[in-house]
Amino acid sequence: MTSMKKTLSLLLALVMALGCISGAAFADGAKYSEETTADGWVKVTQDGGPTLGYDPASGVVILEDDGFAFKDLNKNGELDPYEDWRLSYAERAQDLVSRMSIEQLNGLRFNGNLGSLGEDPDALTDMNGNPMKPMIVDQGARYFIVYPVAFGAPLETVYPTTNMLQKLAESSEYGVPMMLNCDPTNTMTGQVSSLAQAATFDVEAVGELAKNVSRLYRAIGITMTLSPQVDLLTDPRSQSTNTFTEDPALAADLVNAIVSAYQSSYDADGNDLGWGSESLAVQFKHFFANLANEGGRNYHDFTGKYTVVPEDQMEVQLIPFVKGGFKLNGATGQASAIMVTYTILCDEDGEPVDENRGGAWNEFIIETAKEHGFEGMLSTDSLIMQDLDLGYMQMLQTAYNVEDYSNVEAAYHMFSLGIDQSMGDLTPGELMEAYALFVEEEGQEAADQNWRDAAYRCVLPIFEVGNFENPYVLGSESLATIAKLVPETVNELAQSSIVMVKNADGVIGQDGVKKVYIANEDTGLSKKTLKGYFEAVDTADEADAVVVFVQSPQKANTGYDSEAEEWVPISLQYREYCADADAVLEDSLTGDVTETQVESPYGMVTSTEKENRAYYDAETTVTNEADLDLILAAAETGKPVIVCVNATGAFCVDEFESEVAAILIGYGVDNANFLPLIAGQVEPQGLLPVQMPADMEAVEAQQSATPRDMTCYEDAEGNVYDFAFGLNWSGVIDDARTATYKVPVLTGLE
C-alpha cells in the first residue's frame, strides 16, 4: 500500500509538472477535465461541449451543470444565461446587456488603440500614453486596435500581450472578454494586396488565403479584422492597393468569399460550421462610395472631403456591400460590423445627398445600410475627431461640417442617428456626458434603449467568435500556426496576380529568358535569388533581354499643393502634367460653402460663397519621373526590354509602351515574384482588375463614381488594356474567368 501511495504521488507530481491539474475532472458524472497550460491559463476540455479557458487569478471558477463545465464570469456562484454556452448567442448577449450599467455599457461603445506590446499590465499604454489597465478593469473598454501588428511587429511576439489583456478583462465584474482587432498586414498576407488578389480573378483561391489569414489572426489573439476594404476603384486616381477593383460584380464575389472564410469555422473535411472557435469577426469598410472622390482625392484628409455619385450609380456603389458582406454564401450569414465612410456624399451636381455632413453624422448613409438588411454593428472610421500622425500616413480630423461640436455633442448626434461605436476618439467620461445629453434631448427611456441596443450589437460578435468560452491563445500552437501559414501560399498567389499586358515576339515564354541585364542599381534582389532563375549579366550587350523594375507614377500630393496653396491635378503619367484638356472643369462640383453677414440698405444680408476646388490649367509632377528615364534608357540598348511595374492602381503607359518588348504589372508584389514569369517557370495568369487609361485626357473624362467608363489604351500590338485583359504565353487570355467577368458592367442590385 505504501509503495502504491508513493507511485500515485510520483504520478501526481509528474502530471502537475506537465501542467495538468486534477479536480473536477475526476468528479462523478463530470464530462470535462482541466489542465494548466504553459502560458498560465487553465484549459477545460469537455466531451460534447466547447473548450473553455480561464485565469485562476481572475476569480473565475468552473460551475458544473449536467456534468458540463461553465465559467462563472461574474463570480456569483450561479450559472447565469450569458455564461451558458448551450443558449444562442443572441440570448446570451441580451442577458448580459440587461445586467450591465450604463457606465459598463460605455466600454463597448468605443474602440481604443494599443500602442505597444508587453506583459506588464501596469506598464501598457495606448498610443496617447494612457494606461490600459484602468480602461479595461474599471471602465469596461473591450475593443482595441492592436497597432503594433499594423506597424509590423513579428507575429510570434503578440500573443503574450493578448493573453495578458484577456486576463485583465476576465477579472472585471462581468468578465467580458476583449475584442482585439486590426487591419490585415503584409506580415500576415505576404505581398498579396487586395488589388493583387482581385487580379487573380480566382475567388476560390482568395477565399483560401482568407482562411489562412483568419487562422493567423486567431493564433495571435486577435478576433476581429477591420477589413476588407471594398470601396470600388471607380476613379483611377484613387490609387489604392487596399481595395479590390472597379468592377462591382468581381468586388462582390471576392468580398463574399473573404468575409465568409474569415467568419466561419470549418471541420477537418472543410465543411462550414458557421461561428466557432476559429472564426474571425469582420468589420468591413467603408460604407459607401468612399473612393468616388471628386478629382480622385484621398478620403483620409480634407482634400477628399466630397464624393460625387450620380443617382444612377448609387446602387452600383452599394453592390460590393449588399451582395458581398450583407448576404454571405457562408453559414454566418452577414458581416459582424461595418465601418462608415468619412466623406460627404454628393449628387452629380455636387449637392449633398440628404445632409451636408460626414458619414458618421449622415442619416442617409446610416439608414441606407439598415434598409438593405444590415443588422450588425455600425462603427465610425478611425480618429474622426482627432489628428494623428501614424508616420506612414497622417489621420486628419474628418468630422466634416460638425467641427463646431464638442466630442460629447458629436457622440450624442452620431449615436442618435444609429452609430454604435466610435473608433479612437472618446473617453469614458465623454461617453457618460453624451448619455446625459441624450437623456436631456430625447428622454431617459430613449437613451437607455439606445445604449443597450448598441451594446448588444457590439457584444454579440464577442460571443460569436467564442471568446466567452476561451479567449486565450496556447503559445506552442500559436508559434506552430505562424510557422506553417505565413510563407508559402502567398508567393504562389502573388505570382498568379501579375498581369502581362504586352509580350512582343513572345520574349516571355515557356523557354524563359536565359541571360538578363538588370537596369536598376538597387532592386532588393540578391545575386543568389537571381541565380535561381537566369544568369544575371553585367552589361546589356551580353543579355538576351534588359529588365527594368519601376513603380507606377507616384503622386506628390492628394490634389492640393500646400506650399502654393492651390488645387492641383493628380497625375497618372511620369512626365509633368498640365490639366488643360476639354474635360477638365473650370469650376468644381463640390466645395465648402461659407456664409458671411453683409450690411445693406435693407439690413444685414447673408452672402454665401462656394469654394472652387477645380484645377484647370494647373500643373503637377509625380515623385518618380526618373523611372521613365530608366525605361527609355534601357530601350536605347537595342535589346528587348521587359518592364516590371509595381503598381498602386491604373496608370498611363503611352509614354513608354511602344519602346519596350514586354510589360508585367504587379500590385504591391515583391520584385522576386516577377522572376519566375521572366524565366518561364510560371505562366502569366493575371487579368487587369482596373482599366488602363489611353492617356490623362481619358482620365479626366471618366466619371469618379462610374465603373469601367474610361477610354482604354491600345498598344502597338493592337491589344486594348481594358478590365479583365491579360496575356499568357499563347496570347490573350480567354477562360472561365473572362467569361464570367468580361461582360457588361453590373448596374443594379437585382
pLDDT at 428: 82
Calculate the average pLDDT of the chain.
Answer: 91
pLDDT at 7: 35
Q: Are 643 and 631 in contact (CB under 8 A)?
A: yes
Specify the 3-state DSSP secondary structure of 634. Answer: helix
475 Cα distance to chain centroid: 26
pLDDT category of residue 391 using cuts at 50, 70 and 90: low
pLDDT category of residue 11 using cuts at 50, 70 and 90: very low
User: Is the pLDDT confidence value at 12 over 80?
Assistant: no
pLDDT at 591: 94
For 384-394, what is the mean pLDDT?
63
* Highest CATH level, class, for 489-555+624-741: alpha beta
Residues 593-639: tens digit of each pLDDT:
887 877 777 777 777 889 999 999 999 999 999 999 999 999 999 99
pLDDT at 384: 80
For 429-438, what is the mean pLDDT?
95
Amino acid at 577: Y
For 100-126, what is the mean pLDDT?
93
Angle, helices 89-99/444-464, rounded to nearest 10 degrees: 140
User: Is the pLDDT confidence value at 339 over 50?
Assistant: yes
pLDDT at 601: 79
For 423-446, what is the mean pLDDT?
93
- Report the residue count for the chain: 750
Among 124, 71, 9, 13, which residue's Cα sits nearest to residue 472? 71
Percent of the chain at pLDDT > 90 equals: 80
pLDDT category of residue 21 using cuts at 50, 70 and 90: very low
Choice among 9-18, 66-75, 610-619 with the minimum mean pLDDT: 9-18
For 528-557, what is the mean pLDDT?
95
Question: Within 10 A of 499 (CB to CB), how many other CB atoms are there?
Answer: 26
Q: Are 524 and 671 in contact (CB under 8 A)?
A: yes
pLDDT at 188: 62
616 Cα distance to chain centroid: 34
Q: Are 251 and 203 in contact (CB under 8 A)?
A: no
* Residue position matching grid coordinates 477562360: 735
Amino acid at 165: L
Choice among 58-62, 502-506, 528-532 with the minimum mean pLDDT: 528-532
Residues 176-205: tens digit of each pLDDT:
999 999 987 765 655 589 999 999 999 999
Is cis: bond before 228, omega within 30 of 0? yes
User: Is the pLDDT confidence value at 2 over 70?
Assistant: no
Who has greater pLDDT, 259 or 601?
A: 259
pLDDT at 186: 62
Q: What are phi and psi of 339, to 5 degrees?
A: -105, 130
Burial class (CB in 10 A: 0-12, 13-18, 19+), 610: middle
For 473-498, what is the mean pLDDT?
86
Q: Are 329 and 256 in contact (CB under 8 A)?
A: yes
pLDDT category of residue 26 using cuts at 50, 70 and 90: very low
Rounded distance, CA 136 to CA 168, Å?
7
Rounded distance, CA 70 to CA 83, Å?
7
Who has greater pLDDT, 352 or 389?
A: 352
pLDDT at 382: 83
For 527-535, what is the mean pLDDT?
93
Q: Are 251 and 259 in contact (CB under 8 A)?
A: no
Among 381, 340, 376, 375, which residue's Cα sits nearest to residue 359? 340
Question: Within 10 A of 58 (CB to CB), how many other CB atoms are there?
Answer: 19
Q: What are phi and psi of 35, to 5 degrees?
A: -145, 145
Model's pTM, two decimal places? 0.93
Indicate the domain borders of the chain.
21-177+427-477, 489-555+624-741, 575-620
Long-range contacts of 486-490 (CB under 8 A, 24+ apart): 486/155, 486/187, 486/188, 486/190, 486/216, 487/190, 489/208, 489/209, 489/212, 490/189, 490/190, 490/191, 490/192, 490/209
pLDDT at 67: 95
Residues 6+ apart with CB under 8 A from 733: 685, 687, 725, 726, 727
